[in-house]
Amino acid sequence: MNNVLNKEIKKIIDECPEVGRILEEYGIGCTPCSVGTCLLKDVVGIHNLDPQREATLMYRIEKAIYPNRNVPPPKVDLSKKSEPKKITYSPPVRKLVDEHVLIKRLLALIPMIVEYVETSIKVDKDLVLKCVDFIRTYADKYHHMKEEDILFKYVDEKAEIIQVMFKDHDTGRDHIRQVVEGAEKGNKAQIKEHLLAYRDLLTQHIKKEDEILYPWIDRQLSDAQVGEMFRKCNEADASVGDELPRKYEKFVKNLEEKFLQEITK
Ligand SMILES: [Fe+2]
Ligand SMILES: [Fe+2]
């Protein structure tokens, strides 16, 4: 099994698609992963399963790859209930998770914004560009830059999961460029396509960060590194001032009032 553990997951799934299906049952979505050069041992390790679930998963993978091998089943202690691990974050990482909450509130409004744009006679360019400003300034400059310039520096930036995160940030920027072009031209279909694509991308991206990436990074940090990261994140926040998060919080709240009130009319 050791040589399989050190093999790239994409190659394993290509040779034995059943492994992809088993991983998905455990909430480990390697089949749609965009890069796929992770080793099996890292894929399993990064998800931090409880020992019983991990042992059962590895048994099923080994059986799928070597159906004729006499693999001893894992010893499962039925007296122990398999509980999902509760995620706790260090203070600087907690702050990043909290920033996701405001970004998710804007993402939740996107279908309503798209519908409003589609049904208006003329594209409300001002509204679309204000949403773009939130995405570019709060989500990207304020939040993603702390990830790219501070958080990701504490792990191997060449690790596949980090490369996927960088790629998602870039893909998001491309979608937003298209949204701006659509707003300038008054092209409703272009705005709709790229705002919805951005919403799907960021929803998945934030879920990966909250549930997998951030806890994985946190597990590797010493207390001294947590303290150092906290200081660096606070310095980055201080450089833009308290006013910036307050301004965008207010923007999202006003947008919620505008669109949610229309739904409940
Ligand atoms: Fe990110
Ligand atoms: Fe993030």
Choosing among 1.20.120.520, 1.10.260.40, 3.40.50.300, 3.60.20.10, the CATH entry for 91-264 is 1.20.120.520
Residues of the chain with CATH 1.20.120.520: 91-264
C-alpha to C-alpha distances, 64 to 56, 58, 162, 240, nearest whole angstrom = 12, 10, 29, 53
The alpha carbon of 259 and the centre of ligand 2 are apart by a number of angstroms equal to 25
pLDDT confidence of residue 152: 96
CATH 1.10.3910 residue ranges for the chain? 2-65
CA of 89 to the centre of ligand 2 (A): 14
Q: Where are the beta strands (DSSP E) in the chain?
A: none
State the Cα–Cα distance between residues 108 and 202, nearest whole angstrom.
Answer: 11
| Interval between CA 111 and ligand 1 midpoint (Å) | 22
Please state, as a whole number, how many other Cβ atoms lie within 10 Å of the Cβ of residue 255.
19
pLDDT in single tens digits along all 265 residues of the chain: 667 777 777 788 888 889 888 888 887 766 555 555 567 777 777 777 777 788 888 888 888 888 888 888 877 766 666 666 678 899 999 999 999 999 999 999 999 999 999 999 999 999 999 999 999 999 999 999 999 999 999 999 988 889 999 999 999 999 999 999 999 999 999 999 999 999 999 999 999 899 889 998 998 999 999 999 999 999 999 999 999 999 999 999 999 999 887 666 5
CA distance 201 to 104: 12
Q: Which CATH class is domain 2-65?
A: mainly alpha
Q: How far is the CA of 66 from the centre of ligand 1 (A)?
A: 38
**Quick one: CA torsion of 251, 253, 254, 259, rounded to 10 degrees?**
120
Distance 100 CA to ligand 1 centre (A): 9
Under a CB-based contact definition with an 8 Å cutoff, are residues 172 and 204 in contact? no
Task: Please tell me whether residue 8 adopts helix, strand or coil conformation.
Answer: strand
* CA dihedral of residues 145, 150, 153, 154 (deg, nearest 10): -140
In angstroms, what is the span from residue 139 Cα to ligand 2's centroid? 8
CA-angle at 130, arms to 100 and 101, nearest 5° = 10
CA–CA gap between residue 177 and residue 183 (Å, rounded): 10
